[in-house]
Amino acid sequence: MKIILTADRLLTPSEIIESPVVVIEDERIFAVGARNAMEVPSGRRFDFPGTTLAPGLIDIHIHGGAGHDVMESDASGLNALERSLRQSGVTAYVPTTVTAPMEVLLSALDMLGKHVAQKSSNTGVRALGIHLEGPFISHAKRGVHPTADLLQPSPALLERFWQASHGTIRIITIAPELPGAVETIEQARKLGIVVSLGHSNANAAETQAAIDAGAAHATHTFNAMRPLDHREPGILGVTLTDVRLTADIIADGIHVAPAVVDLFIKAKGLERAILITDAISATGKPDGSYRLGEMEVTVRDGRCEHEGKLAGSVLTLDRAVRNAVAFAGIPMQAAVTLATLNPARRLALEGDRGTIAPGRVADLIALTSSGEIAFAMAAGQITAA
C-alpha cells in the first residue's frame, strides 16, 4: 500500500514546493509534487498541517547517544542509538570510532562493519559506513585521544583496519603532517574512503599536499586544528579557503562561538559546509559520567569533558540545524541543506539520500515553524516525535 504525506510546504532541499504531496511505495519515494498539480493516489494518508517536509538528516560524525557508545562490544546498543536518532530527525549516520588499544579498535571495527553490512535496521535508520577518527592523528592536536594508542599512518595499517571493518570504512580522519600520511591518503582513495583532515598541526604546504593526494574533507573545523596565523595560515586557513575541500563543524555554541559558525558558513559557502554533532553516549541523558571509547567523560550543563578537555558533545543534529539559522542568519532551507544534501554528496550518495525526489529512500522529516521535529520517516517507517 502506498503512503501519502502532505504538509504546508516541502524543502527538497534545493527547491521549495508549496502544499506538497509525497507518495511512498516500498520504502522509496514514488512521486513528489504540489497538490494542485498531481493526482493523489489512494493509500494510507498522513497530513501534517503547519509543518515543512524535508529530507531526513545525515550525521557523518557521531560517537553515540541514548547511553550507548558505538564502540561497545554489544551491537544491541546501536539499535537504541538509532531509535534516539530518529527522534531527532536523523535517518542515516556514520558511526565514528575514537583512538583505542589495537585489539579494542579492531573488535569495534568488526562489530560496526557487520552492522553496516546488514543494510537494514528495526528502525529504518541506516548506518552508512564507519568513520575512523584516529589513530592517525597528531600528538599535538590529539584532544582527548589517548597518546599511547596513536599510530603513524601507513597503507599496511589502513588495510588491516579495512579488513577488520569488512570493507565498510567510509571516512578516515588523518593528520596530513605525519610521516606516511600522503601514501595512506592515496591508498584510502583507492579503497573509496573519504579522507578528512583533522586533529592536525599541519602547515599550509602539508595540508595542500594532502589535498593533492586525494584528501577532500576536514573534520570539526577549528577544533583540534593549528590556529590561523596571518603569515602561516596552516590547516585552518587552507580548510576555509580551498574549494577542493568540504568541511564540517560542531554548531553547539560550545566547541565554537556562534560568530565563528557564521564565519565558517560564509567561508565554505552553502555547498561545502556540513553540520555534524560529534555526539557521545551522554546525548539525550542527564548530566553525569559516560563513556567515549575507553575514556570516562563528565557531562555538566551540556559540556562534555575528559581531564579538563572537551570530549565530544551532547548536540543533536536537529538542534545544530536550528543553531545554524540562529548563529549565521541563514534560511531554514539552507541550514537543512547542510545536514542533508551536503553530507549525502560528500559520501557520493546523493542519488539515494539527502533529497526528496522519486526513487530516493523514503527518509523524511516534518519540521514545525520553530524547526522542531514533528515526525520522522526512515526507510518508509514513521515515528511521531
Structural contact between residues 352 and 60, judged by C-beta atoms closer than 8 angstroms: no
Sign of CA dihedral 336, 341, 342, 343: positive
Active site residue 8: no
Burial 239-259 (b: 16+ CB within 10 A, else e): bbebeebbbbbbbbbebbeee
Q: How far is CA 243 from the centre of its chain?
A: 20
Alpha carbons 62 and 259: distance in angstroms, whole number: 24
Catalytic one of 252, 262, 278, 363: 278
DSSP letters along 118-185, please?
H---SSS-EE--EEEE-SSS-STT-TTS-GGG-----HHHHHHHHHHTTS-EEEEEE-TTSTTHHHHH
Of the candidates 19, 24, 65, the one whose C-alpha atom is nearest the C-alpha of residue 357 is 24
Q: Which grid cell sits at 275?
A: 553540520
Of the candidates 283, 285, 286, 304, the one whose C-alpha atom is nearest the C-alpha of residue 295 is 304
Structural contact between residues 218 and 197, judged by C-beta atoms closer than 8 angstroms: yes
- 114 in helix, strand or coil? helix
Structural contact between residues 216 and 247, judged by C-beta atoms closer than 8 angstroms: no
Residue linked to cell 605525519: 178
Tell me which amino acid residue 34 is.
Answer: A
DSSP secondary structure letter of residue 193: P
Q: Catalytic residue numbers?
A: 278
